[in-house]
Amino acid sequence: MSTKYETMYILRPDLTDEIIDQTITRYQTLLAEQGAAPVETQHRGKRRLAYELKKFKEGIYVQMNYDAPTTAVAELEKSFRLSEEVIRFLTVREED
């Protein structure tokens, strides 16, 4: 059973464009492999953070909207926790 989710994550601001694109693709692929469809990704760009996170004052925001089983979300969040590129993330379930 699939549910609609929205995930927003913040990448370190010192990453190159190539690494940012690779990171976004990695998470899209991870979700697709876990049974998510369709994965809509919006690159929101670099923005100033409301407060300092891990000694960064800016971050690169990426938003993903997708339908997925809960196991896919758990795997995605596990990957975020282990990543050095991601400084913060949040996943919410969308109401119908």
What is the tens place of the pLDDT at every residue in 34-44?
988 888 999 99
> Rg of the chain over CA atoms, in angstroms?
13
Q: How confident is the prediction for the chain on average, in pLDDT?
A: 93
- Render pLDDT for 43-81 as a digit per residue (tens, 0 to 9): 999 999 999 988 999 999 999 999 999 899 999 999 999
pLDDT of residue 1: 66
Query: Could you tell me the residue ranges of all domains in the chain?
Result: 3-93
Mean local confidence (pLDDT), 72-93: 95
Q: Encoding tokens for residue 52?
A: 């300092």
pTM across the whole model = 0.91
| Residue among 7, 2, 14, 4 nearest 59 (CA) | 14
Q: Which residues contact 61 (CB under 8 A, 6 or more apart)?
A: 8, 9, 10, 11, 43, 44, 45, 46, 47
Q: What topology does CATH give the domain 3-93?
A: Alpha-Beta Plaits (3.30.70)
